Amino acid sequence: NAGVMQNPRHLVRRRGQEARLRCSPMKGHSHVYWYRQLPEEGLKFMVYLQKENIIDESGMPKERFSAEFPKEGPSILRIQQVVRGDSAAYFCASSPKQGRANQPQHFGDGTRLSIL
């Protein structure tokens, strides 16, 4: 499968624990985006990363949330001290290196995070 790979598909955490969500972009893609989707709502942008750089984190909550895309390995979205309101589907998308500004983003299957 050469698509965007996210894991785990489902993640259950208790309040106060940490959640780590992983995303491997499509082969040849160097741009990664994270989105959150609350039940019955649209997709909300969180953060845009390239290798070792955070390009735009304007959609990230100021506290408890962080993201990285290291030189080696997948992109990680980390949520510390989770609360019930963090329950959502988290989608990762990737696009190719920007030769043009309008390369479509392709989405992974998402991680469904449930907080008990």
* Residues in touch with other proteins (CB under 8 A): 31, 33, 35, 41-45, 48, 55-56, 58-59, 91, 93, 95, 98, 101-102, 104-110
Gap between the Cα atoms of 47 and 59, Å rounded: 6
What is the closest distance, in whole angstroms, from the C-beta atom of residue 41 to other proteins in the complex?
7
What is the closest distance, in whole angstroms, from the C-beta atom of residue 16 to other proteins in the complex?
28
Gap between the Cα atoms of 6 and 27, Å rounded: 14
Residue 18 or 56 having the CB closest to other proteins: 56
Residue 69 or 91 having the CB closest to other proteins: 91
Residue in the structure block whose two tokens are 């190719």: 96
Please say whether the beta carbons of 65 and 43 come within 8 A. no
What is the closest distance, in whole angstroms, from the C-beta atom of residue 110 to other proteins in the complex?
5
C-alpha closest to that of 11 among 107, 86, 106: 86
Residue 11 or 72 having the CB closest to other proteins: 11
Residue 93 or 113 having the CB closest to other proteins: 93
DSSP 60-94: S-SSSEEEE--SSS-EEEEE-S--GGG-EEEEEEE
What is the closest distance, in whole angstroms, from the C-beta atom of residue 107 to other proteins in the complex?
5
